[in-house]
Structure 1
Amino acid sequence: MASVVNVHFLPNLTSPQQLAGRTVVVIDVLRATTTICTALGNGAAKIIPCLEVEETMNLAANARKLGQAVLLGGERNGLPLPGFDLGNSPAEYGRAMVQGKTIYFSTSNGTKAMMGCVGADHILLAGFVNFSAVARRLMNQSEVDIVCAGTHGLISREDVLLAGAIAGRLRACHDQIECNDSASLAIDAWRSIAGDQISRDSLADELRFSHGGANLVRIGHQSDLMLAADLDRWNFVPCLDQATWTIMKECENG
């Protein structure tokens, strides 16, 4: 049972030293962690997160030379990258496109947040799309840190809301859990919009009010808000294996 839950509204508000030995959840609702869940849910073999565009292209090119079935996915400032097969919209990661493929993946915020968690015991990835699976997975961890990716160094409302949903679920199961102030604020934010439950349409509207959501509307990806708001679409937890730097399904429930 979780006894300590810390939320960090931005990656730079914590450090690898603070996260060492803990179970860490990385959140980038719009859109990296949502897209990663979608890709794995639709049969992608694994995902390799990369920091830089050139690194992503070089790694994928080397894998292709070895005969591996690979795709390049990612974005900068929300827009697809030249030479990449896919952007960062979960709509692009359908089964026909990704099944059995290794995806080399680089985004503006999410992949950087993952890098900042190196040294944690476990690095898990969460979106609203796998919210309950993540919460169940965390029940057996004594110390949990939730790291929000943010948007270009700014706090993202959508990430805070999901952090609050997860932390709130854990505290509802055990009221003696110790939460840092950011976790308490996130729980209050989530409860202010959700109460006991929230519909997909209502959650999508809340995402639209965020800075990240407004950016997606501006670049013509408002439909991604509904995909990101599809609560519990997936019943597994992606885990970043630090030894191989590979994201795969860690567990599936039910």
Structure 2
Amino acid sequence: MNTSKPDSRTVRVHLLPDWVPLHELAGRTVVVVDVLRASSTLVAAISAGCERIVPCLEVPEARQLARDRQQAGADVLLGGERGGVPIAGFDLGNSPLEYTAERVRGKLLVFTTTNGTRAMMRAVGAERVLIGAFVNRAAVARQLAETDGVDVLCAGTDGQVSWEDSLFAGALLESLEDYGISAGNDAAELVRLAWRNLGEAGRTRAGLAESLRYGAGGQNVIRIGRAADIDWVAQVDLFDLVPELILSDWTIRRTGVDSDTDGRVN
């Protein structure tokens, strides 16, 4: 049964990449979200001055691309994870706290993760692909304010619906309502209710971080000793910038603020 609404001033939510046929995203604006941790880490990297990011599906592909770009003279870093942990031989893992200006400013980052980069591949036929997380929620909403045909694509966790991505989708929908954009399918209604049911206390940094710890994604991050990452990703509206995956050359770059700033909201 098709539960989507025909109104173009709506946003549809897809709780897993495999649940949306490729043709449904064609020509639309897609927000890819993997709160724990790929989309949050990409915002951190762009804020810290990373020049460009190339997402890759598989580890061998990432290694080969990094070698090719290095041979062409680029200053390249390899970043990412498998099973949550850094990949052997890579420069960086998937913790946003690793992506400081000292490490990434002016660099080309080749990046691969278990869930997030796979979600990006699902959006290959879209008109635009934006990267969203709690830390840049309001900036993403402003980018979408005049946009018709919006989809939020949640990465999930190992093929399962994730609590943290669903909460972010609800938080983004709340922001979009200020621009006259409403829920466009049942999944959007569900995540909107989930976010609202947190209450005011649950939307503070401490309250949101506590909630994120209970999901499977949060438990995975705690298991590998990166609980501090949960506190970091729970900083709602920290940055006024939006990474965008430019489909013509498959690189992620910043949009939304002047490139000479870190995009941090004062």
| TM-score after normalising by structure 2 | 0.91
The count of aligned residue pairs is 253
Give the superposed CA RMSD.
1.7
Q: Partners in 2 of 1:247 and 1:157 — Cα distance?
A: 25
The corresponding residue for 2:4 is none
Quote the residue 2:175 is aligned against.
Answer: 169
Q: From 5, 14, 18, give the equivalent of 1:12.
A: 18
Distance 1:96 1:140 in 2: 36
What percentage of residue pairs aligned between the two structures are identical?
45
**Alpha-carbon deviations, 1:146-205, whole Å to 9, x = none?**
000001100000000000111122124427x35200000000000011449821111111
SS of equivalent to 2:198: helix
Corresponding residue of 1:106: 112
Q: Does 1:157 align with 2:157?
A: no
Comparing 193-202 and 115-124, the one that deviates more: 193-202
SS at match of 1:238: strand
Q: Is 1:246 equivalent to 2:255 in the alignment?
A: no
Provide TM-score, normalisation by structure 1: 0.96
Residue in 2 aligned with 1:214?
A: 219
Secondary structure at the residue paired with 1:168? helix
Amino acid at match of 2:189: S
User: Distance in 2 between the 1:70 and 1:169 partners?
Assistant: 36
Give the stretch that moved more between structures: 10-19 or 26-35: 10-19
Contact 2:201 2:207 in 1 (8 A): no
Structure 1 segments unaligned to the other structure (5+ residues): none
The residue number in structure 1 matching 2:123 is: 117
Correspondence for 1:233: 238
Q: Is the 8 A contact 2:202 2:208 kept in 1?
A: no
Q: Distance in 2 between matches of 1:27 and 1:137?
A: 15
Matches within 5 A, 1:1-254: 3-174=9-180, 177-195=182-200, 198-252=203-257
Gaps (5+ residues) in structure 2? 1-6, 258-262
Code of the residue aligned with 2:58 in structure 1: it is E
